[in-house]
């Protein structure tokens, strides 16, 4: 999967590259490091990334040669007529090369139109067959890690002749510092650790039992040297995390506050670590350069979705459970019916890893 990726203008054949990634937040977040690397390695090439309007603001401090194009897939660019409109507008902007980082019907149609117009195109290899073997109930071979999503994105650009040097560390750097904290969050006190806890995920097979996550928050609060930031969405998630924040000292809920990606990433960049499921928050923390203690149930890091730059030492899972992994995305019902991969995972494994990271950091 790792292909040689030295930029060759003649091989690349284009000066304006369209990058397609229409997907959910976590998947789009995973494209940021590779896309930023490619843009910075090729400053004389224009790149335009087409993505859903709802996540376009995630691309914080983009390189100067990268334009983010928010696509309203339910409005102006809806259906076949909308795709044709998007294609024509992109052609008018001089797009002559396509990097398809999604490989779904929408992007395949767009890619076909560009190919017919003479553009070069490379398409993401999702490795579906290998992922089916990884999640098969009867596993005939020992588990082996598959190429990461980042490897797969790099392979797309490599086939177009573009370089991906592996230099990304965070969306923040010397020229782009994190934004100030919201007014109601007091600055970090001397000797204090800041710990994020993100207990939710899209699917049940990726959520650690909430009563035990609440116990984790309680134990961190009892330490007396931790401020805990609870992360989640609105509605029921915000209501539950609000209850936790009210119950435990030094605990703040950020759920449902709609702070925006720039502020959320700025807060994450100040944390000592984040405890997260295999979810979008793992990838957001990774973009901020923050260590993540990631908790895995039905899904498995070997499928290639561990956060950018995250250490395998911070993965918490039942590694010896023979039915794991049973799902790539955690969206399949547990055939046992008990989600034992999460329910039998001891809380002490998570808490112990948190303590080890905190011991390494001297506030």
Please tell me the predicted confidence (pLDDT) of residue 3.
46
Q: Which fold has domain 193-360?
A: Rossmann fold (3.40.50)
Please tell me the predicted confidence (pLDDT) of residue 12.
45
Asked if CATH classification 3.40.50.300 holds for the domain at 9-159, the reply, yes or no, is: no
Please tell me the predicted confidence (pLDDT) of residue 137.
82
Distance of CA 109 to the CA centre of its chain: 25
Please tell me the predicted confidence (pLDDT) of residue 363.
54
Domain boundaries, the chain: 9-159, 193-360
CB atoms within 10 A of CB 13: 14
Please tell me the predicted confidence (pLDDT) of residue 174.
83
Please tell me the predicted confidence (pLDDT) of residue 4.
44
pLDDT tens, position by position, for the chain (363 residues)? 444 444 444 444 458 999 999 999 999 999 999 999 999 999 999 999 999 999 999 999 999 999 999 999 888 999 999 999 999 999 999 999 999 999 999 999 999 999 999 999 999 999 999 999 999 988 777 899 999 999 999 999 999 999 888 889 999 988 899 999 999 999 999 999 999 999 999 999 999 999 999 999 999 999 999 999 999 999 999 999 999 999 999 999 999 899 999 999 999 999 999 999 999 999 999 999 999 999 999 999 999 999 999 999 999 999 889 899 999 999 999 989 999 999 999 999 999 999 999 999 865
| Fold agreement (9-159, 193-360) | yes
- Residue 202 and residue 64: Cα distance in Å, rounded? 34
């Amino acid at each position: 999967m790792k292909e040689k990726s030295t930029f060759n203008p003649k091989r690349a054949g284009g000066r304006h590259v369209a990058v397609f990634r229409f997907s959910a937040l976590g998947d789009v977040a995973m494209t940021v490091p590779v896309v930023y690397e490619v843009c910075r390695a090729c400053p004389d090439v224009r790149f335009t990334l087409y993505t859903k309007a709802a996540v376009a603001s995630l691309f914080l401090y983009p390189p100067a040669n990268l334009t983010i194009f928010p696509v309203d897939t339910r409005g102006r660019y809806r259906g076949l007529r909308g795709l044709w409109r998007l294609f024509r507008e992109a052609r008018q902007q001089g797009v002559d090369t396509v990097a398809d980082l999604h490989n779904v019907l929408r992007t395949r149609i767009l890619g076909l139109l560009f190919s017919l117009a003479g553009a070069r195109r490379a398409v993401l290899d999702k490795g579906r067959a290998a992922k089916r073997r990884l999640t098969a109930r009867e596993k005939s071979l020992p588990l082996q890690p598959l190429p990461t999503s980042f490897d797969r994105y790099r392979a797309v650009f490599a086939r177009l002749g573009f370089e991906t040097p592996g230099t990304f560390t965070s969306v923040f750097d010397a020229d782009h510092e994190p934004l100030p904290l919201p007014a109601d969050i007091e600055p970090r006190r001397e000797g204090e650790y800041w710990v994020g806890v993100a207990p939710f995920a899209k699917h049940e097979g990726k959520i650690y039992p909430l009563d035990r996550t609440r116990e984790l928050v309680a134990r961190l609060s009892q330490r007396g040297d931790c401020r805990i930031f609870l992360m989640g969405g609105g509605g029921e998630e915000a209501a539950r995390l609000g209850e936790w924040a009210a119950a435990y000292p030094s605990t703040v809920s950020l759920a449902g506050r709609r702070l925006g990606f720039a502020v959320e990433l700025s807060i994450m960049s100040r944390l000592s670590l984040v405890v997260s499921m295999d979810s979008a928050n793992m990838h957001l923390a990774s973009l901020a350069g923050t260590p993540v203690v990631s908790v895995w149930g039905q899904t498995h890091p070997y499928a290639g979705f561990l956060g950018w730059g995250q250490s395998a030492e911070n993965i918490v899972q039942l590694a010896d459970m023979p039915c794991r992994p049973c799902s790539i995305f955690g969206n399949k019902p547990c055939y046992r019916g008990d989600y034992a991969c999460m329910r039998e995972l001891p809380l002490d494994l998570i808490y112990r890893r948190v303590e080890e990271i905190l011991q390494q950091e001297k506030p």
